Structure formats: structure tokens, C-alpha cells
Amino acid sequence: MSPVRSTTGRGRLFPSILDTVGDTPVIRINNLGVVGRTLYVKAEFFNPAASVKDRLAINIIEAAERSGALKPGQTVVEATSGNTGIGLAMVCAQKGYPLVVTMADSFSVERRKLMRMFGAKVILTPRAQKGLGMYNKAVELAEANGWFLAHQFETTANADIHEATTGREIINDFAGQRLDYFVTGYGTGGTLVGVGRVLRKERSDVKIVLTEPANAQLIGSSKPQERNADASPASSHPAFEPHPIQGWTPDFIPKVLQEALDRHLYDELVPIAGPDAMRWARELAAKEGILTGISGGGTFAVARLIAERAPEGSVILCMLPDTGERYMSTPLFEAIEAEMDEAEIALSRSTPGYQLAAE
């Protein structure tokens, strides 16, 4: 008989919600693994606003405070598919900055509501104008109003926080332990670049695997990104097509990600199809009790592909960027009914009481 689980607390009191960002757990996969290989996931939904972008959000704001680029009470504005906006909304709520987010109307309504719950204003842009449209809208609003533009796609604060936190956590969690592969997708590129800097320096034996949507292979196309003088995107990338993996792969190659390309901070690029990403997100929930979003499913799908062809004994770590609760209005949940199905109705009728009249 297993002993009763117990906890002892974290041994510290936190000054604010912002002090709980980071130190997310690495969790072993037990039921969906590959025989002879060990799979781990880094569960970024343990961050306080439930995604990896909490790290980026706090560092953008605090770096701008330190430099004087962000003044007390100044409005912050940013273009985002949702997770960065949610993280920024949490940070701005705590620190007292008004926040305006621009977001294409193709992204899930849960994201809009979460940002508005934190007190942010959300300006929707036409989906036909893709990520570049919402990006340009944020630039336009910042210039017209004198607001602070967060610049998640260009700022050095992005990769720096992953070098200082995410990468260090991986090094410490696997100290004295085998680690053969690290698997991640990209949105801004901050996770890849920050973690890549650390692994290349301190665990050069670890192979870094990058993944992107199969129908939007910006990196796989080998076509360069057209840029303006400030390194911002000048146009949509020619290889982009709309894809269902929200948070991954905007319609341009961000400046932050460019460092990974220029410095060869990954060893292999493996594309994944949207339906496969959703299937493995569902499998993680149903078989491991791990609720992640479509991007997490995509990263895990690639990690399993790597495990299937890796040498026996290999250890693979993959990133799970956010929670599945952020996707309830998307195709990820379209097969999940709100009402009872026939099997559930049959179970209800198997005893005489407390049945809905419609049964």
C-alpha cells in the first residue's frame, strides 16, 4: 500500500505573483513513451498565467523599467497570438501599467477573455492580414500614442530570460543525469535561442531538435525573411500558410529567432502536421493526465518520433508551452461534447435516481 502523499510547502513566502514565474517541473512520461527510451516534458503551464510566455513578459517589462524605456503609468502595447498578451496582462496588472493588445481574430476567444479579465484592452485585427497585420497595428498604435511597444519579436530581453531561467533549470534538473535531445517549437524563437545558448556551452552533447508546422515551413524553406532597417519583418514570409498550432510560427521569421539560424543553435528540423499535434495533445490528457495545448501536442509528437529512432537508452526532453484550457473553442476540443453521450446516459440509467428529464 502506497503511503499517503504529503507536502511541506515551498519554504518561502512570495512578495507577489510575479515571483512565482519559472522553476517549472520536468515530468517523466510513463504511458505514452517508447520502449527503451525515456521521455520527459517541461510543463510550462505551471507558470502563474499558465504559459512559457510569463517568463518573457516579466523580463520585457522589468528590462524596460531598468533602462528607463518604460515610464511609470505608461501604456504598454504588443501584438500577440495570446500567451504573451496574457503574461503581459498579468505583469501589467501587478505593476500598474495599462495594456493594449493587438491580436488577429483567428485566435481563440479564451485568450481575449483572459486578457480582458486581467484588465487589458484587446484590439482585434483581420485574420486575412495574419500576424504581420496585428504586428503593424501595434506599431501604429505605439507611434500614434507614445506608448511603450513591447517588441517581443525583436527584444534581447526575450532570449535573455530563457538563458537565465529556462536553460539554467534544465541544466540543474539534469545535473549528473543523461540528456540526449531537447525538442522545442518556436513562436518568437526566445525559448530556442535562450536554451540553445546554455546547452551549446554546458551540455554540447545534447542534440537540439526544432519543429514547425508541416504546412508552414518557414525555416525548412531556407528562404530568408525580408526585413526593415530595424530588423522588423517587411512582409509575410512566402512559405507561410495558416495552421492550427496557435502560438507557433507567425507569418514571418522573428529577429529573435534569427540568432538560432545564424549561430546554428539547433541540430535538426522536424515538421509536424496540425492534426498530429492535436492528436498527441489529446493523448497526453487521456493517458498521462497532462493537459497541454496544440503546440505542446506538436512538440511531444516530434519528441516521440525522435525517441522511436534514437539509440536505446536515450533521454528526450520536450517543451509543453501552455495549458489545454486555452483551446476549448478550437478544433482541439471539437470532439469533446458538453452533453452526455450514449454510454454516459446508459450509466446514468443504470441506477434509478437523479436522472435528467431529457434522458
What residues are annotated to the active site? Answer: 53, 295
Cα–Cα distances in angstroms (integers) from residue 209 to residues 56, 140, 193, 308, 346, in the given order: 21, 36, 12, 14, 47
Vertex 216, ends 154 and 246: CA angle to 5°?
65
Cβ–Cβ < 8 Å for 178, 150:
no
The number of CA neighbours under 13 Å toward the Cβ of 92 is 31
Torsion sign (Cα): 70, 75, 81, 86: positive
Say whether 334 sits in a helix, a strand or coil.
Answer: coil
User: Distance between CA 211 and CA 215 in Å, rounded?
Assistant: 12
- Residue 69 exposed, middle or buried by CB count within 10 Å (0-12, 13-18, 19+): middle
- Residue 304 exposed, middle or buried by CB count within 10 Å (0-12, 13-18, 19+): buried
Instruction: State the helix-helix crossing angle for 53-67 and 83-95, rounded to 10 degrees.
Output: 50
**Alpha helices (H) along the chain:** 53-67, 83-95, 109-117, 130-145, 156-161, 167-173, 190-202, 255-262, 274-283, 294-309, 342-349
Cβ neighbours of residue 310 closer than 8 Å, sequence gap 6 or more: 37, 180, 181, 316
Instruction: State the helix-helix crossing angle for 274-283 and 294-309, rounded to 10 degrees.
Output: 90
